[in-house]
């Protein structure tokens, strides 16, 4: 609270010197007070700002509600919302929508719907953004049927579906395994003239691959290339994964080469895909070459990549290689993931199938952390 106290002292000093704080100052102090959990002070400042006539529109209040919701403090946001109404302010659609978003972020869609009803009762009509937030809320908790019902209700109420809404529904359908419905909805989107961008295509390609429709994904990808649709690294990552999944190793390599050829830059995800799949295919030398390429490209390998590589190597029984990458993790002072620790313990301790190879692990803090190696006596 040190800096917040200092800010409030400076504020009081301004007032005592006859300097009138403006809206920006009040907003900063209100947000700071909320961030530090001092909601009594926040309300006091809001009341003061209102009395000074500095809060003539909802932008001031929206930022307060929005920040609390983004921090997961939805109960506090609701309380602040009621307080704002109680001092005579009339919330607009943006404020209501922000509160709905907060409830959806914590999985409380029913509460968000109650806010929607309150908004309608206040004579305000939901916008496309409002519906998109509620759709996303339903899909995130797996209630795709309710999401589809809301989508239909929205269309009947005269709100035109947007690309973002279709993307949310498509993603939800694919995640729930309703591939046929997803393909039908995608066709409906295309036929209705809704703009279809690369984000939509990526959702469809990924959804097809995850639902064992890799062949259809490959055909769609070929069509996109023939239509000169501008693809991105995410598109190519999806298709590289698809090629490995169907054992088209050379085509996966070609797609990796395509990334640089069309002016894109491989991501850490790209390198992780290439390395882990090379290992699964027994192409350990090529996996090592790919790791060198990561470092040469100034695309620093992160903890997630190295942990993933270690797990795949150990699962394949490549203990020496796995130990090498464990050493790289240690040298870079990166942590082991819980899943990596669990795998190492299961393989090397007790009746683990790699128990006799435990001495191949690097004698470092990594091994000692999981108690596989005895501590040396002093």
CA 137 to chain centre: 14
Greater confidence, 32 or 114?
114
Per-residue confidence (pLDDT) for residue 367, from 0 to 100: 53
pLDDT in tens, 142-189: 999 999 999 998 888 888 999 999 999 999 999 999 999 999 999 999
DSSP-derived secondary structure letter, 361: S
**Among 291, 271, 300, 209, residue whose Cα is nearest residue 246:** 209
pTM over 0.85: no
Q: What DSSP element (H or E) covers 28?
A: helix 23-35
- Counting other chains too, the contacts that 297-302 makes at CB distance below 8 Å and 24 or more residues apart are 297/265, 297/266, 299/265, 299/266, 299/267, 299/268, 299/271, 301/268, 301/271, 301/328, 301/332, 302/268, 302/334
Per-residue confidence (pLDDT) for residue 48, from 0 to 100: 78
Per-residue confidence (pLDDT) for residue 326, from 0 to 100: 87
Task: Report d(CA 300, CA 342) in Å as an integer.
Answer: 25
DSSP-derived secondary structure letter, 246: T
Give the total residue count for the chain.
378
Per-residue confidence (pLDDT) for residue 352, from 0 to 100: 63
pLDDT at 260 over 50: yes
In terms of average pLDDT, the best of 132-141, 287-296, 332-341 is 132-141
Do residues 361 and 373 lie in contact, with contact meaning Cβ atoms separated by under 8 Å? yes
pLDDT at 375 over 50: no
Do residues 65 and 93 lie in contact, with contact meaning Cβ atoms separated by under 8 Å? no
The torsion angles phi and psi of 159, rounded to 5 degrees, stand at -85, 120
Q: What DSSP element (H or E) covers 328?
A: helix 319-331
Per-residue confidence (pLDDT) for residue 363, from 0 to 100: 60
Token reading at 198: 């690369």
Q: How far is CA 306 from CA 60, 64, 249, 319, in A?
A: 45, 40, 22, 15
Report the half-sphere exposure of 358 (CA within 13 A, side-chain side). 21
pLDDT at 372 over 70: no
Task: Report d(CA 134, CA 182) in Å as an integer.
Answer: 19
Q: What DSSP element (H or E) covers 274?
A: helix 268-280
pLDDT band at 377 (very low <50, low <70, confident <90, very high): very low
Do residues 62 and 94 lie in contact, with contact meaning Cβ atoms separated by under 8 Å? yes
Do residues 99 and 113 lie in contact, with contact meaning Cβ atoms separated by under 8 Å? no
Token reading at 228: 């000169």
């Amino acid at each position: 609270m040190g800096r917040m106290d200092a800010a409030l002292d400076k504020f009081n000093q301004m007032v005592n010197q006859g300097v009138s704080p403006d809206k920006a100052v009040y907003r900063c102090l209100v947000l700071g007070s909320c961030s530090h959990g001092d909601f009594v002070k926040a309300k006091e400042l809001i009341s003061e700002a209102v009395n000074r006539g500095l809060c003539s529109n909802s932008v001031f209040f929206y930022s307060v509600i929005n920040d609390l919701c983004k921090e997961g403090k939805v109960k506090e946001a609701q309380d602040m919302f009621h307080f704002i109404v109680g001092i005579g302010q009339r919330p607009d659609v943006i404020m209501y929508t922000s509160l709905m978003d907060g409830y959806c972020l914590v999985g409380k869609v029913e509460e968000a719907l109650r806010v929607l009803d309150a908004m309608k009762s206040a004579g305000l009509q939901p916008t496309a953004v409002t519906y998109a937030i509620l759709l996303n809320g339903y899909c995130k908790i797996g209630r795709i049927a309710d999401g589809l019902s809301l989508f239909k209700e929205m269309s009947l109420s005269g709100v035109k579906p947007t690309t973002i809404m279709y993307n949310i529904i498509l993603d939800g359908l694919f995640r729930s395994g309703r591939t046929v419905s997803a393909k039908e909805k995608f066709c409906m989107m295309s036929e209705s003239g809704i703009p279809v961008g690369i984000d939509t295509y990526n959702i469809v390609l990924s959804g097809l691959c995850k639902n064992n429709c890799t062949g259809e994904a490959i055909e769609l990808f070929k069509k996109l290339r023939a239509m000169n649709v501008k693809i991105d690294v995410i598109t190519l990552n999806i298709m590289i994964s698809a090629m490995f999944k169907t054992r088209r190793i050379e085509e996966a390599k070609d797609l990796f080469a395509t990334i640089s050829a069309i002016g894109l830059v491989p991501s850490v995800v790209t390198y992780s895909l290439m390395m882990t799949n090379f290992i699964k295919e027994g192409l350990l030398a090529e996996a090592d070459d790919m790791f060198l390429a990561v470092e040469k490209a100034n695309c620093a390998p992160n903890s997630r990549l190295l942990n993933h590589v270690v797990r795949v190597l150990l699962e394949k029984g490549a203990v020496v290689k796995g130990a090498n990458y464990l050493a790289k993790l240690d040298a870079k002072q990166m942590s082991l993931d819980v899943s990596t620790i669990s795998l190492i313990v299961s393989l090397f301790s007790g009746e683990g199938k790699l128990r006799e190879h435990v001495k191949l692990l690097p004698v470092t803090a990594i091994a000692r952390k999981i108690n596989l190696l005895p501590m040396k006596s002093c």
